[in-house]
Amino acid sequence: MKKYLLTVSLFFLGVGVFAQVSFSMRFYDKKVYYVQGSKDEPIRVLLTIANNNPYPFYFKIADDRAFSIDFDVRTTMNRPLPQTDLLLRKRAESGQVYFRTVSIEPGESFSFVEDIREYASLLNAGAFVVQAKLYPELFKRVSSAAQQSGASPIVSNRLILNIRPPTVLGEDGVPVAMDVETNAILVREKLSPDQMITYVLTARQKSQWEKFFLYMDLKSMILRDDARRRQWNTESEEGRLKMLTRYRAELQESKVDGDIVVIPMKFDVQRVNYGVEEGTVVVLEWFQVGGYVEKKQYTYNIQRQEDVWMIVNYTVQNLGTE
């Protein structure tokens, strides 16, 4: 095979360059990532090698990508994260590394997907800077002499990876999310009935869905409807969790029970009646509708669950316009 002398040139956008060969990285299916097991929540990135040379670019790709790819993951304080135990064991073994030689023609590219969790120990929440490395002559073949002859890794652009704390499931199976203002896990507190309703309505005014749902018993809300209750009774545990997730999404899209998710321009708690386990909170709420204001009276049925008041039902009475 004819050998080419490749020189390193700079690329002002930050994409790693090996002569005129660029190595780039982007999230394959970007979403919210949590501190969880690597098999449960993969952090997949799409790696692309593009040949901008006037001649073919040849490199080796191992069947086990751990011998072709590496990830440098650092905290915002520039502290590197340790590699996974599995990755360290693989590279410590002395067995045969199987690979194939890939040829990328001028103007073409070669892409594949890798999971960052298989390389770096992402055990804590936080923000991290990720950069990928490609070893054209395989990881085990890199030595000081080889690096001088052109076998040093090609580095990619950098990505910012945000890892959230692990999800905490509420009793209804719906994740208790993070407070976007404080970056802390939302926890139900022992609020009085009027404080709880004020918390929920204020959250809705600010479009803070996590806080809005925090004191809402979605299971009880689902069972208000006869058809949904019959379906609930026939579903498995997994099916019920899907119903809860779907109901929450439909509430956010105002597809069901639109009265409870409409945003009040202002509200006033009128009466609070409660006993040991149950109670009601009556609230006047005003809504801007076009050029006029609608006034409605909401009666929230509440229930004490593990010493925390939760909304389990509600009714609405129209009081006209102002």
Per-residue pLDDT of 236-288, as tens digits, reads: 888 888 899 889 889 888 888 889 999 999 999 999 999 999 999 999 999 99
Judge whether 279 and 302 are in contact, CB under 8 Å.
Answer: yes
Give the pLDDT score at 97: 86
Give the pLDDT score at 144: 43
Give the pLDDT score at 215: 93
Give the pLDDT score at 14: 35
Alpha carbon distance 154, 6 (integer Å): 12
Q: What residue type is assigned to position 81 of the chain?
A: L
168-321 has the same fold as 16-164 = no
Predicted model pTM: 0.50
pLDDT digits (tens, 9 = 90+) for 79-106: 999 999 888 888 888 778 889 999 999 9
Give the pLDDT score at 291: 85
Helix (H, G, I), strand (E, B) or coil at 242: helix
Give the pLDDT score at 187: 76
**275 DSSP 8-state letter:** -
Helix (H, G, I), strand (E, B) or coil at 118: helix
Give the pLDDT score at 167: 58
How far lies 18's CA from each of 6, 68, 77, 106, in Å? Answer: 7, 15, 28, 14
The number of C-alpha atoms within 13 Å of 153 and in the hemisphere containing its C-beta is 17
CB atoms within 10 A of CB 225: 14
What are the boundaries of each domain within the chain? 16-164, 168-321
Low-confidence ranges of the chain (pLDDT < 70): 1-19, 36-40, 140-151, 165-185
Query: If we measure between CA atoms, which residue out of 4, 43, 36, 38 comes closest to residue 21?
Result: 4
Give the pLDDT score at 148: 38
- Domain 168-321, CATH number (from 3.40.50.20, 3.10.450.50, 3.30.930.10, 1.25.40.340): 3.10.450.50
Structural domain 16-164, CATH architecture:
Sandwich (2.60)
Question: 78 burial class (0-12, 13-18, 19+ CB within 10 angstroms)?
Answer: exposed
Alpha carbon distance 243, 218 (integer Å): 10
Give the pLDDT score at 145: 45
Q: Which residues contact 155 (CB under 8 A, 6 or more apart)?
A: 16, 23, 131, 132, 133, 134
Query: If we measure between CA atoms, which residue out of 224, 202, 212 comes closest to residue 176?
Result: 212
The number of C-alpha atoms within 13 Å of 305 and in the hemisphere containing its C-beta is 17
CA 190 to chain CA centroid, nearest Å: 29
Q: Which residues contact 269 (CB under 8 A, 6 or more apart)?
A: 194, 197, 198, 281, 282, 283
Give the pLDDT score at 186: 72
Q: Give the bridge partners for 268, in sequence order.
A: 284
Give the pLDDT score at 170: 54
The number of C-alpha atoms within 13 Å of 160 and in the hemisphere containing its C-beta is 4
Query: If we measure between CA atoms, which residue out of 121, 126, 124 comes closest to residue 35?
Result: 124
